[in-house]
Chain A
Amino acid sequence: MIIALSLTCVSLLVGFSTKGQEIKIADSLLAARNFELASVYYEKAIFHADNPKDYNSYLRKQADLYKKVKKFDKSAEALERINKSNLTTLEKSDLFYQLSFSYFMIDNYAKSYFNWLQYEIIVSQDPSEDALLLKTLLFAKLEKWKESQNAFLAYTKDSSNSSQEVFSAIEKIKKKSPEKAENLSYIIPGAGQVYAGKPLRGLTSFAIQGGLLAFAAYNFFNGYYFSGTFTGVSLFYVFYMGGARHAGYLAEEYNKTQNEKAYNLINDLIREHKKRAINRP
């Protein structure tokens, strides 16, 4: 009788005990795709964790959850909270890779690169395929085409020349200097725009400034000195300075689109490679 009673009481207690169960609840919530609540239960497990190992592993689970639902900012936040002093080298390198990945996904390339460097220093064996893929894209975003190419070759393990063409084409893409565009427009109005790849805008700019100068000259010639100065010359000055600055801006825009194009070319290469990998028996 007593034994039976104690058993019921103990089972009751277990039912109410939450410590240690939180992580199980979180895992099952995750399995049931209730991501929001699962993240809260992971947080609860993190809060109640009584040793550094559990603390780190729960944070890692939470970060993985956020990664799964594509909330990379939160995933990075959880990963940053992990206590690095208790990790093995392998865990550490994986952590840096995950951080680099999360920051890459939220377009924070500086932090992504920073974590990538730490990953590369401590990683002992060859980087995984995923890591090489990240490296290819990250270095392409940072405009380090040579490193991006090396990572791509290591990723595909392919020394054939199909990708060589694309990368050498990318290297050949010339940048336009915003400063040069600005200076060109100071010498000949509109020339900077033509240099930045917008000939029509260059022509318009040239025509407006020419027209204003002609207006000023016509007025001076007919004795309208105030109109000539304050309408003709002053407006000309405004368009002259503005046009040059605009040319510099256009050159910057040109560089941006060229970088994007190059990045997309690399993206296409990766997609093709993946397609081939699937089709391969």
Chain B
Amino acid sequence: MSIISKTLFSFLLILIAHLSYGQNQENDFIEYLYKSKKYQQLKVYEKHLEQVDTIQYDSDLLLFFIGKSFYDQQKYDSSINYLKRVKDGDHYLESKFLIGLNSVFVDDLKTAKEVLDSSGFRTDEMMNLKYFELSGISLLDRDFKSYNEFNNQIFKNYYFFQKERESLQQIENDLKSYNEKSPFLAGLYSAILPGAGKFYAGKKGQGIYSFVISSLLALQAYESYQKAGPKSGRFIIYGSLFSLFHIGNVWSSALSVKKYNDEFYEAVDYRIKLDLRIPISRFFD
């Protein structure tokens, strides 16, 4: 080998080493921006990297961290857009789980299931985590059969989802044993005894308040009827005030019960989503 080619070869080696060193530095910086929560700077830097082609960096890593930063900021749609473009690399599988979670948060359960189902998770940890996530998503769907199937598929109870798994089982019981309250009954109760419907809806304070106001108005209407007669202005005013308040009370009792039911299901969904979220961050971080 001539001295020229030797020199060329060694410089080429140095150049390659240097390039990878530079790339590592870039990747470290991208990770640093994410970890120190400088999300806006991360976005600005992404735009910059797109325009400049002399800087070497791992594009999957950049897409992943931007996607994750959107997830942290609860911008789930943008997060999905970025994470979907992650094609390979160390964070490929984590991004699949995050796409699933993001889809759960935008109530797109179908996509969430598909992503988790189609991704090739090979390690025991990830496979169990996948079954755990799928069981939670089935609960969100109120599909108890699939929930039990996925729950039974979990073959090893890992620490990172153990507590949440128990919590999901509790939620399943809560859902099954929950007696929905009827808005019609609430209205009926309030029509017979003012405030009773609110009591039934679990709003005791409001029930007492409605009862007191209704009876006071009724007393005044009764007094006017007795002393001034049914055609007096006084009776008409107090009578209509009482009727208006009474009708309003019946109506709002029915609404309260509807709200009571909605709130129960919302609280359940919130608990499930939280239980789905925690194991993923515990496992990957």
Contacts and interface: CB of A to CB of B under 8 A. Distances in A.
A157 B222 CA distance: 80
A80 B222 CA distance: 71
A13 B48 contact: no
Contacts of A221: none
Per DSSP, are chain B's interface residues mostly helix, strand or loop, or mixed?
A: helix
Contact of A9 (B4, B11, B220): B11
A257 B223 CA distance: 50
B202 to A, nearest CB: 28
B19 interface: yes
Contact of A225 (B7, B216, B223): B223
Range class of the A interface residue count: 20 to 34
Interface in A31-45: 36-37, 39-40, 43-44
A258 interface: no
Contact of B18 (A16, A37, A43, A224): A16
Interface stretch (A100-108, A115-123, A205-213, A226-234): A226-234
Interface in B42-81: 44-45, 48, 54-55
Nearest to A227: B220
Contacts, number: 72
Contacts of A18: 22, 25, 55
Range class of the B interface residue count: 20 to 34
B14 interface: yes
A39 B41 contact: yes
A227 B223 contact: yes
Contacts of B33: 40, 43
Contact of B219 (A2, A15, A19, A230): A230
Interface string B10-32: 01001100110010010011001
A2 B11 CA distance: 11
B19 A16 contact: yes
Interface in B234-272: 234, 238
A12 B15 contact: yes
Interface of A: 1-2, 5-6, 9, 12-13, 15-19, 36-37, 39-40, 43-44, 47-48, 223-227, 230-231, 234
Given A16-B18, A47-B32, A230-B217, 14 more contacts: A5-B7, A18-B55, A37-B44, A37-B48, A40-B48, A48-B25, A224-B223, A224-B227, A224-B234, A225-B223, A227-B220, A227-B224, A230-B219, A231-B220
